[in-house]
Amino acid sequence: MNRGNKVTWFDRIAWFLNIACVVGILLSYLAEYISPETVWWLALFGLGYGPLVLLNVLFIIYWIIRRRKLFLISLIAVLAGSGKILSLYQISFKGPAPENSGALKVMSFNVRLFDLYNWFHNHETRKNILEFLDHQQPDILCIQEFYSSDRQEEQFKNDDTLKTLLSASAHIEYSLTLRKTDHWGIATFSRFPIIYQGVVSFKEHGGNSFIYTDIVRNKDTIRIFNTHLESVRLGWADYRFFENLGNDEIRQDEVAGGKQILKRLKIAFIKRAYQARLLRDTIKQSPYPVILCGDFNDTPSSYTYGILTGELKDSFRESGNGSGKSYAGPFPSFRIDYIFHDNHFTSYDFTTYREKLSDHYPVSCELVLKR
């Protein structure tokens, strides 16, 4: 320590906070390997990995300015998990797939029911989503939070509309039907023939499911998995709680509100742990090359991500650029929408579309089957 640079009271406070941030980032590394069923609160540190990296970088800068070797502790902590940074921010020079490579354009998109309840207050969102998909023309489209209706009004017939728009076949599984005409579920659309369909419900471990769809392209059979893992299921009161934090003009019980949100997070973390293992075990049994798309509702520092990347590659890490954040809702932006693939494929041109069409951004990539 440089004796000519006097230690101040602010340095002592900074050192205390620095240690807390270092402990926090180390715990975030453990979150990927320890199931929330065992220690649920570790998942909170996994959720906070991005901010923890930023805070430690700020401490590195601070101690360098102060000419203290104390910067080394945060530097070592960040470098210890440097591979995780590439799951949030990526630089790739691969570009689009080579011409005549037979690349498949794969897209995953949580469409938020095509704005069925008019969250955007403009009555144009469904039309804009369809125009976007028409422009992109993916070969394989995996949709979460899919909605369609059997009623006569054209604007509700999303299944038929997308089949026509994309010249595609469809595998659609509904988890909820009301009035015998209105359906909520998950859907995979393919420009190639579908020869087999399967669905696995999470049953008591959540209301969601995953589907798998075998398609044939030329002489190759490929199995497409599409999933929507357990969400936190925040209610209107929870959103209001976050919006009003720090607003002295609005009185609210912040302790009670915080406990309620932690309870919802705990339930979701635990359910996703089971769901991710079930999905992984089913993927292992696939006799064909695998592509996995979905809204995982979890970050790259989560147990869910760790379980699934044990078997598959993350196309964002293989061919993405910039920030991978895909959640476009009112909370801090997280990367929770993914396209994974096994070793049979090479990924190119992973793209996150910053289109305000849902509370999720659509993501796509080009996948080339190796020969």
> Which CATH number goes with the domain that contains 364?
3.60.10.10
102 with 43, same domain: the answer is: no
269 with 357, same domain: the answer is: yes
299 with 325, same domain: the answer is: yes
3-state secondary structure of 189: strand
Q: Kindly give, in sequence order, each residue whose CB lies less than 8 Å from that of residue 191, ignoring residues fewer than 6 positions away.
A: 139, 140, 166, 167, 168, 169
Backbone phi, psi, residue 296, to 5°: -85, -15
Chain-wide mean pLDDT for the chain?
90
Q: Tell me which of 177 and 305 has the higher pLDDT.
A: 305
Q: Tell me which of 1 and 36 has the higher pLDDT.
A: 36
33 with 129, same domain: the answer is: no
Q: Give pLDDT, residue 333.
A: 66
144 with 20, same domain: the answer is: no
3-state secondary structure of 253: coil
Average pLDDT of the residues in 246-260: 62
Residue 1 located in a structural domain: no
- Residue 139 DSSP symbol: S
Residue 4 located in a structural domain: no
**Residue 1 pLDDT more than 50?**
no
Residue 267 located in a structural domain: yes
Residue 100 located in a structural domain: yes
Domain boundary among 45, 60, 85: 85
Domain boundary among 53, 85, 117: 85
Of 142, 136, 156, whose CA–CA distance to 110 is shortest?
A: 142
Q: How many domains does the chain have?
A: 2
181 with 317, same domain: the answer is: yes
Residue 3 located in a structural domain: no
Residue 96 located in a structural domain: yes
Q: Which residues of 264-291 are buried (b: 16+ CB within 10 A; e: fewer)?
A: bbbbbbbbbbbbbbbbbebbeeeebbbb
139 with 161, same domain: the answer is: yes
Cα separation of the two ends of the chain: 59
Domain of 361 in residue numbering reads as 92-369
Residue 68 located in a structural domain: yes
- On whether the CB atoms of residues 145 and 125 are closer than 8 A, the answer is no
119 with 265, same domain: the answer is: yes
Average pLDDT of the residues in 198-203: 90
Average pLDDT of the residues in 65-94: 91
Backbone phi, psi, residue 331, to 5°: -95, 175
Percent of the chain with pLDDT over 90: 72
Residue 200 located in a structural domain: yes
Q: Give pLDDT, residue 91.
A: 85
326 with 216, same domain: the answer is: yes
Domain boundary among 48, 68, 85: 85
Q: Give pLDDT, residue 240.
A: 58
29 with 115, same domain: the answer is: no
Q: Kindly give, in sequence order, each residue whose CB lies less than 8 Å from that of residue 24, ignoring residues fewer than 6 positions away.
A: 45, 48, 52
**Residue 332 pLDDT more than 70?**
no
230 with 360, same domain: the answer is: yes
- Residue 155 DSSP symbol: G
**Residue 334 pLDDT more than 90?**
no
118 with 29, same domain: the answer is: no
